[in-house]
């Protein structure tokens, strides 16, 4: 299984900007927009993910709204498989299945098309930019199971490990970078 080299890790770490006190005081926000606009860093990340997942024999990549769409669509293209968007409530035009998840103050909801994975027992990789508390990832895995597919792994560009967000996710979890 492919792991990052020290040089690759440095390229990625140096491309992520810290924004203190965003979205509220005391939070250090990991801004990946600077990774996205850095051609070397983005290519390094996508090459790493492509090498890692080539042997998984996946059928689909499911990207979580919205930054998971960026990484997921590119990875699906590179793996020559389908991409499925997991959207916030009310954004998908066809019949959907929904899953609520807890936020710090309240709830939110994700949806997926009921026919998102036409292949029976499809092997799916979930991808997003960051895992913090894990609510969206848990909801996404639940949605994939509800529509009859199999989540093989959840992949995150970055993990805020001190929040233990991967605990309770009913899938293997891979984080490229851990903070």
- 16-74: pLDDT as tens digits: 999 999 988 999 999 999 999 999 999 999 999 999 999 999 999 999 999 999 999 99
- What pLDDT shows up at residue 149? 98
Q: Which residues are catalytic?
A: 67, 104
Q: What is the mean pLDDT of residues 144-165?
A: 97
pLDDT confidence of residue 131: 96
Question: CA dihedral defined by 151, 153, 159, 164, rounded to 10 degrees?
Answer: 70
The vertex-69 CA angle with 81 and 49, nearest 5°, equals 60
**Cα–Cα distance between 68 and 91 in angstroms, integer?**
15
Question: What's the predicted TM-score (pTM) here?
Answer: 0.95
Q: Coil, strand or helix: which one is 62?
A: strand
Q: pLDDT at residue 104 above 90?
A: no
Domains defined for the chain, CATH in brackets:
57-178 (3.40.50.2020)
Assess whether pLDDT exceeds 80 at residue 13. Answer: yes
Burial of 13 (0-12, 13-18, 19+ CB in 10 A): middle
């Amino acid at each position: 299984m492919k792991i990052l080299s020290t040089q690759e890790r440095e390229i990625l770490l140096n491309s992520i900007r810290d924004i203190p006190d965003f979205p509220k005081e005391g939070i250090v926000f990991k801004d990946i927009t600077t990774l996205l606009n850095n051609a070397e860093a983005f290519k390094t990340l996508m090459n790493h993910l492509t090498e890692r997942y080539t042997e998984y024999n996946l059928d689909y990549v499911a990207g979580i709204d919205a930054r998971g769409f960026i990484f997921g669509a590119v990875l699906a293209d590179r793996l020559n498989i389908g991409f499925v968007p997991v959207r916030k409530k009310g954004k998908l035009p066809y019949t959907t299945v929904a899953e609520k998840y807890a936020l710090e103050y309240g709830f939110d909801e994700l949806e997926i098309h009921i026919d998102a994975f036409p292949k029976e027992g499809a092997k799916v990789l979930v991808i997003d930019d960051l895992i913090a508390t894990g609510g969206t990832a848990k909801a996404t895995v639940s949605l994939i199971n509800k529509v009859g597919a199999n989540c093989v792994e959840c992949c995150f560009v970055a993990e805020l490990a001190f929040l233990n967000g991967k605990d309770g996710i009913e899938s293997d979890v891979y984080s490229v970078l851990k903070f």
